[in-house]
Amino acid sequence: MRKKRKRKKRHILRKLFMVIVLLIMLGIGASFLYVKMSPKLMINTANNLVLYDNNKEVFFQGSESKEWVSLNEISDKLITATINTEDKNFYKHHGFDFLRILKASLINIKNGATKQGASTITQQYAKNLFLSFDKTWKRKWDEMLYTMRIEANYSKEEILEGYLNTINYGHGKYGIENASKYYFNKDAKDLDLAEATMLAGIPKSPSNYSPFVNFDLAKERQKVILDLMVKNEVISEEERNEALDEELVLVGKENNEEISSIRYYQDAVIKELEKLDNIPDTYNDIEGLKIYTNLDIKMQKKLEENVNTAFGEEKELETAVVMMKPETGGIVALVGGRDYDKSSYNRATDSKRQVGSTMKPYLYYAALENGFTSSSAFTSEATTFTFDNQEPYSPKNYNDKYGNKPISMGTAIAYSENIYAVKTHLFLGSDALINVARRVGITAKLEDIPSLPLGTNEINIIEMAAGYAAFANEGYKIEPHLIEKIEDGKGNVLYESENKKELVLNTSLTFILNNLLTATYDPLYIDYNYPTAISLASKLTHKYALKSGTTNSDNWNIGFNKDIVCAVWVGSDNNKSLTTKDYKYAQNIWYNSIEFYEEGKTDEEYWYKKPKNVSALFVEPISGRPANESDEKKKLMYFIKGTEPKETDQTFDEIQSNSRAS
């Protein structure tokens, strides 16, 4: 009885499905009459996208590129392979292959998942006319109408030519001529069968089927295409076997000199574009787009060079780097990985990583805001924190080094002391750190745990750079962005960045914190330990605030002045543990990049002027006590007037707090 009910249910579902398909087909038929009377669609605007750097020089062009080629300049083998792979009935249908749609739908229903697609070449070309790839019903309807309008107004040859000149072949290569020169260093008309079938397989999933990403998978895809061509009787078994056995000579280089990492910046621009309001949905509505960005070409080129030089022969580690103008939030250079050809995954825009001790400046700003000073002291010693109904917590300093004496906030920053940080966090209460992080723009999840200031939570690198920009910008929060202005093909301004600033931190306290962050490379702090970036002391020619952060699998360096914020992450996609020698990579990339950007500039121009309500006092740097004649080391430190340290000041351990240590 149960089986009979199931069969009956399946029968009803099939009937319902057939009715729906019939209604759709009738609707499409009626729509054809409508689009036939519509104005001719200008399909030559597909991918008509031009990106400009901060000097208004073009660094990317879509279909306006000189690499557009006519159909008779494309290898017949490539054309045949593409049609047999993507749309074997291309010359027989009017934009939609209904039998293929029906077959694919039945297969997908049977499997309970999307196992087979049914988009024709015309449908795929219609998608290229759109600026984004939203999967809404309105979008699908618009794509269907565009498909019909293309078919109603253009010949099959014109459609195929446009499709082959705008499709994505991976690694930032749009169009068959660009792809042919990139992969094989030859014109599209000269592609042989093996090369043609390799390229024809890429558009289905460029991030998977590029031979530079996964050669074995690309060969499997090539074999599928060759088998289809044999099945469709357009090549022989012998031709198939010869193509499969041919040793492909892959080039993967440009004919002209190119900054390969610029494609990470380009991808980030497109991602930002898709989030903007008031930008038309299609290229056809606007005759293309001109996008003016903050990209500094010279800095991008140097950044790529610094990444390559820093890693040398090291193969496993990855990186992400963001350089941002703190006054506006404009991103002037960006690297999302070491090699775009091997991985187009943009770690700068898409990844979140544990930030380690780069979280501590948010904590120490909160401390300054709550009555701490540059000299406020906790005892540096091995400590176990105990809490009601919780496991004891025993953080450790790097290399288990402790002073076993009171140390100042400046010393804690210089050594990146974990004990001092946790004591401060517990003394203030967790809300203080989280509140500051939220104010400067950190949106990532922040757990209310004792280890929060040690950076156990994961945050995106652009978000971290923007957070530090609030310090660099003397308390003003900014919105990170790549795009400054967008115009349509006629020069009408569609969008312009407002570069809004919002005062979220106290300017005098950010001045004090920024000066504290120079302790990380200051020789005056050499004592029972060394400042974390002491190796840079003799290399830096300008004054910067700097903080590093390290977890088992992540290493960060974030530093800034009024002119620029530079944030560098190094690690691996599979969370491989780092070794001590791996810590040099992020630091080297950071200082070489920021020093290049600041070349020819002065600290007088881009370091911070002391506010009127701030006083300067020489202190003994390790303890933070006022300096006297017997002190060998004296450090000029800054304080809000009236909060200068005294010899009688207590160490905070001696003051009752919300936590208790044992």
Dist CA 221 CA 205 (whole Å): 10
How many H helices and E strands in the chain? 22, 20
The torsion of the CA quartet 627, 631, 636, 637, rounded to 10 degrees, works out to -60
Q: Are 226 and 244 in contact (CB under 8 A)?
A: yes
CA dist 502 to 171, 218, 477, 612, Å? Answer: 38, 50, 5, 22
CA dist 206 to 202, 218, 221, 372, 629, Å? Answer: 5, 10, 11, 54, 69
Beta-bridge mates of residue 568: 321, 557
357 is annotated as an active-site residue: yes
Dist CA 370 CA 539 (whole Å): 35
Annotated catalytic residue, options 63, 67, 75, 86: 86
Contacts of 203 by beta carbon, 8 Å cutoff, 6+ apart: 86, 167, 168, 169
Q: Tell me whether residue 229 is exposed, middle or buried, using C-beta atoms within 10 angstroms of its C-beta: 0 to 12, 13 to 18, 19 or more.
A: buried
Q: Are 106 and 196 in contact (CB under 8 A)?
A: no
Q: Which of 299, 320, 349 is nearest to 480 (CA)?
A: 349
The torsion of the CA quartet 166, 168, 169, 174, rounded to 10 degrees, works out to 50
DSSP characters over 524-589: GG-SSS--TTGGGTTT--S--EEEEEE-SSEEEEEEE-SS-EEEEEEE-TT-PPP-GGGHHHHHHH
Dist CA 361 CA 364 (whole Å): 5
Amino acid 602 reads T
Contacts of 305 by beta carbon, 8 Å cutoff, 6+ apart: none
Q: Are 369 and 506 in contact (CB under 8 A)?
A: yes
Annotated catalytic residue, options 75, 210, 351, 357: 357
Q: Are 345 and 210 in contact (CB under 8 A)?
A: no
86 is annotated as an active-site residue: yes
Dist CA 94 CA 90 (whole Å): 8
Q: Which of 325, 322, 344 is nearest to 333 (CA)?
A: 322
Q: How far out from the chain centre does Cα 401 lie?
A: 36
The residues carrying an active-site annotation are: 86, 357
